[in-house]
Amino acid sequence: MQTVIITGGTGLIGTALTPMLLNKGYKVIILTRGTAPASTNPQLSYAQWNVNAGTIDANAVAGADYIIHLAGAGVAEKRWSDARKKEILNSRTQSGTLLVKALTEIPNQVQGVISSSAIGWYGADDGAISTIKPFTETEPAATDFLGDTCQQWEESIEPVTKLGKRLAIIRTGIVLSNAGGALAEFKKPLQFGTAAILGGGTQVISWIHIEDICRMYLYALENNLQGIYNGVAPAPVSNKLLTLCLAKAMRGNYYIPLHVPAFALKLVLGEMSVEVLKSATVSATKIKQAGFQFLYPSIEAAVTNLTAKII
């Protein structure tokens, strides 16, 4: 039985990925900085680490075959004050540095590391919607806050390759899940019969279903993937199309489309509104060429599934 360490195991992806790994027969160790919850599954355990203190359970590292690195403060959870931006960056870079240090100093049998990054690596689409060329993994990082954060994030974990470890990095898109994240925000106005279209609504969202992104991490682990891959569905959609598709699934014809002006979003969200209004068309070609098959390649398939049951 192979053992997988997960950092960020209590986050949106980690909580969905853990049972998937357990069902596949893996032993899972979730790194936590708090009190470990009780587990009734003998294949699931918890181990301590503290990124700020630079400490990690040596026995967990020594016993692992793979590490899935998801740790990082939520980008959209709070307004981007200077302190919050520092927390977002440091939670990613310092955790990566700690893992590299642990793998350097602790005798281990880790074969590969699958690390999260984000499509925040890319800037905004350039040109009209009809002529957009999707971003591929070879694009340089954007020069804005998220682009710089993603670049430092990836650089922090890259040294594991010098230790002879296989490294795959998944630049994750907007994850659609009933357990939280972006979909929960899209659903809130619909509870009152309003389909809130953000700004002009033409901005492109590169999204992915929670089940597909978890399957992608597992696929990268089991199929010896190396390098950078975009974790997005093959059919990005406009904010308007996603919102109306969700509205129809939830409310039938009983909803009112309402545009939320860009200036209002800026007042409420501050600098973070740039990301909400940004159009980013990201390519899924590379991961498809690696053999990965999506269960939910279209927004219609994803929304139908997510409004029919809880994932």
Q: What's the distance, CA 73 to chain centroid?
A: 11
Residue spans of alpha helices (H) in 169-226: 182-190, 210-222
Domain residues of the chain, as ranges? 3-176+208-232+283-295
For helices 182-190 and 239-251, the axis angle rounded to 10 degrees is 60
Return the amino acid letter for 75: V
Q: How many other CB atoms are found less than 10 A from the CB of residue 23?
A: 9
pLDDT tens readout for residues 126-141: 865 556 789 999 999 9
Q: Smallest Cα–Cα separation from 136: which of 16, 60, 227, 58?
A: 227
State the CATH class of domain 3-176+208-232+283-295.
Answer: alpha beta
Grouping H, G, I as helix, E, B as strand and the rest as coil, residue 188 is helix
Q: Identify the DSSP state of 209.
A: E
pLDDT of 143 strictly over 60: yes
How much of the chain exceeds pLDDT 90, in percent? 69
Q: Which of 76, 66, 32 is nearest to 175 (CA)?
A: 76
How far is 228 from 234, CA to CA, in rounded Å? Answer: 16
Q: How far apart are CA 234 and CA 236, in angstroms?
A: 6
Given pLDDT bands bounded at 50, 70 and 90, which one contains residue 73? confident
User: What are the pLDDT digits (tens) for 46-71?
Assistant: 999 999 999 999 999 999 999 999 99
